[in-house]
């Protein structure tokens, strides 16, 4: 039999607990990260604006939820992630990075300290590779549970707290959670974990809940006047306005987190030399050098003149010289103008630098601007 | 005035020896919110099936093809200020450009309204 005759079976696209619910609500479904996901309901701009002024319910159940436990857990995890677990207390969540030996980004993720274990939320498209990587790097004594029976909903927007507080009951009120804190609550009789975090730049929550309870809880939340379901399309335009990187686009094994401005993801103690208790994670040599010496290129925000959007892959020029490439770009509904994120040579990365972006043989004028494009409104307490 | 449709979801209104081209209601519905339309300038030569315009939604850029051969006589200036006209009036005020008809026989290969409707229903 010739090799051409062998049929390679395409992996089947998975369905998530809310699949029928989304279709029932009129969502347009697309394949994303191996699952059918809602791209939009009534329209990206309307959903985007609704989230910025009310509250949007996002289904992010494609993301991976992992639980790590076992002896000397903190030391084992610190050998894989550049996180300082000595400063991560029970009830806290922190952004971290999965890095390869060269300091390239394999994924970005959230780490929370649960009682006796660490809970990780990783990207949907990378979760199987992440599990393989963690299994390879962690000692056998560390147990890795993939919580694939759990769903994940994000409720985002200035009215998210009001709407959720009517349903989330726990030992303390929902308002006790500030940005990057989490706790155990009950919604409609189901035990859930709620973290005050998200990916839109707005105040909001990520709710980990049992898969079988997802429809019931989504219904309970969407009955609130402030809440509408929102698709992946608006999730992307919201996160772009918030200046947040998207794995596979703005971050990849070809990029270092320092180039991406994610130095906060390398916790302070891990930045010092090994003899002073620092380093000790994959890629530490390069990353610690880049923290001191800087990088050749930087990830910057660009405001684009006119109305024509510049998208991923568009080349960035300073005069005749190509100095960078766009990694995320589109039209900002909030600003009514095109915006983009790009890696550009550090010499051209200062705020206010005039650059050009080439789109279909045309040069669009662009200016380096600070990010986020739209201010974050995280709730950090009164 | 006769209206024809392509399987790439353009419509073409034929009036004497000129034609008006736009994208269909079905197409704008698939694209979602339109934020920018790049139109060919007057004098541009178009060939059937070739690139004629680009329509940008919030999400992505999509090509619009020439339904027949001809030369662009006018772009719809209203789309510069209000690209959302493509969403609100795709088969009316949201037209893209006007063109000459280079080869009238090419119209024979296009769909009429009924054929286009059943084509969309089959998608």
pLDDT in tens, A300-355: 999 999 999 999 999 999 999 999 999 999 999 999 999 999 999 999 999 999 99
Task: Tell me how close the Cα of B96 comes to any Cα of chain A, in angstroms.
Answer: 16
pLDDT in tens, A234-262: 999 999 999 999 999 999 999 999 999 99
8 Å CB contact between A194 and A183: yes
pLDDT at residue A382 in the model: 75
Considering the domain boundaries, does residue B7 fall inside one? yes
Q: Give me the domain span that covers residue B15.
A: 2-117
pLDDT in tens, B46-71: 999 999 999 999 988 999 999 999 99
Considering the domain boundaries, does residue B123 fall inside one? no
Considering the domain boundaries, does residue B94 fall inside one? yes
Considering the domain boundaries, does residue B122 fall inside one? no
pLDDT in tens, B4-16: 999 999 999 999 9
Task: Tell me how close the Cα of B112 comes to any Cα of chain A, in angstroms.
Answer: 28
Question: CB burial class (10 A; 0-12, 13-18, 19+) of residue A242?
Answer: buried
Considering the domain boundaries, does residue B108 fall inside one? yes
pLDDT at residue A380 in the model: 94
8 Å CB contact between A299 and A290: no
Considering the domain boundaries, does residue B111 fall inside one? yes
Helix (H) or strand (E) holding B73: strand B70-75
Considering the domain boundaries, does residue B89 fall inside one? yes
Q: Inform me whether the pLDDT recorded for A76 exceeds 70.
A: yes
User: Percent of chain A scored above 90 by pLDDT?
Assistant: 95
Strand ranges for chain A from DSSP E: 28-32, 35-40, 55-59, 64-69, 93-99, 105-114, 117-122, 143-146, 150-156, 169-170, 182-187, 190-195, 204-210, 227-229, 297-304, 315-318, 321-332, 337-345, 354-359, 362-369
Is A360 an interface residue toward B (CB < 8 Å)? yes
User: Counting one residue from A and one from B, how many pairs have CB atoms under 8 Å apart?
Assistant: 44
8 Å CB contact between A41 and A228: yes
* Structural domain count, chain B: 1
Considering the domain boundaries, does residue B43 fall inside one? yes
pLDDT at residue A274 in the model: 77
- Closest Cα partner for B39 from B107, B98, B84? B98
Average pLDDT of chain B to the nearest whole number? 95
Task: Tell me how close the Cα of A264 comes to any Cα of chain B, in angstroms.
Answer: 30
Q: Compare CB distances from B36 to A40, A233, A307 and report the shortest one's residue.
A: A307
Specify the CATH number for the domain of residue B55: 2.40.50.100
Helix (H) or strand (E) holding B35: strand B34-38
Question: How many CB atoms lie under 10 A from the CB of residue A332?
Answer: 23
Q: Can you give the pTM of this predicted structure?
A: 0.93
As a whole number, mean pLDDT of residues A17-39 equals 96
């Amino acid at each position: 039999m010739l090799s051409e005759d062998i049929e390679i079976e395409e992996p089947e696209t998975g369905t998530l607990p809310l699949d029928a619910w989304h279709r029932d609500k009129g969502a347009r479904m697309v394949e994303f990260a191996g699952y059918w996901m809602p791209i939009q309901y009534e329209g990206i701009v309307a959903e985007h604006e609704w989230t910025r002024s009310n509250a949007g319910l996002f289904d992010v159940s494609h993301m991976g939820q992992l639980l790590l436990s076992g002896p000397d857990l903190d030391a084992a995890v610190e050998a894989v992630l550049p996180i300082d677990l000595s400063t991560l207390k029970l009830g806290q969540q922190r952004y971290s990075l999965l890095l390869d030996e060269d300091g390239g980004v394999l994924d970005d993720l959230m780490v929370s300290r649960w009682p006796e274990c660490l809970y990780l939320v990783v990207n949907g498209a990378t979760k199987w590779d992440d599990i393989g990587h963690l299994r390879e790097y962690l000692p056998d004594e560390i147990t890795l549970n993939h919580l694939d029976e759990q769903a994940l909903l994000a409720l985002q927007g200035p009215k998210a707290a009001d709407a959720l507080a009517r349903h989330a009951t726990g030992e303390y009120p929902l308002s006790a959670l500030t940005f990057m804190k989490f706790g155990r609550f009950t919604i409609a009789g189901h035990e859930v974990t709620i973290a005050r975090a998200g990916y839109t730049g707005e105040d909001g929550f990520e709710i980990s809940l049992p898969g079988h309870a997802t429809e019931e809880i989504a219904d309970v939340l969407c009955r609130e006047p402030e809440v509408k379901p929102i698709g992946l399309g608006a999730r992307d335009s919201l996160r772009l306005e918030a200046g947040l990187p998207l794995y596979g686009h703005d971050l990849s094994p070809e990029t270092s987190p320092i180039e991406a401005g994610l130095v906060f993801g390398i916790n302070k103690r891990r930045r010092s030399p090994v003899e002073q208790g620092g380093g000790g994670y994959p890629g530490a040599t390069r990353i610690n050098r880049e923290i001191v010496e800087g990088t050749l290129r930087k990830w910057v925000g660009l405001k684009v003149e006119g109305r024509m959007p510049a998208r991923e892959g568009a080349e960035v020029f300073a005069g005749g010289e190509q100095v960078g490439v766009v990694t995320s770009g589109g039209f900002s509904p909030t600003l009514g103008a095109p915006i983009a994120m790009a890696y550009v040579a550090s010499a051209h990365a200062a705020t206010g630098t005039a650059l050009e972006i080439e789109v279909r043989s045309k040069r669009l004028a662009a200016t380096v601007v600070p990010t986020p494009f739209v201010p974050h409104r995280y709730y950090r307490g009164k | 005035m006769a209206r024809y449709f392509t399987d790439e979801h353009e419509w073409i209104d034929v009036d004497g020896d000129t034609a008006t081209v736009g994208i269909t209601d079905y197409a704008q519905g698939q694209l979602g919110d339109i934020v920018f339309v790049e139109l060919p300038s007057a004098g541009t030569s178009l060939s059937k099936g070739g690139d004629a315009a680009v329509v940008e939604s919030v999400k992505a850029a999509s090509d619009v093809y020439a339904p027949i051969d001809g030369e662009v006589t006018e772009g719809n200036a209203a789309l510069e200020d209000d690209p959302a006209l493509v969403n609100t009036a795709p088969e009316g005020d949201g037209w893209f450009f006007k063109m000459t008809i280079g080869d009238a026989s090419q119209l024979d290969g296009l769909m009429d309204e009924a054929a286009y409707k059943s084509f969309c229903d089959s998608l």
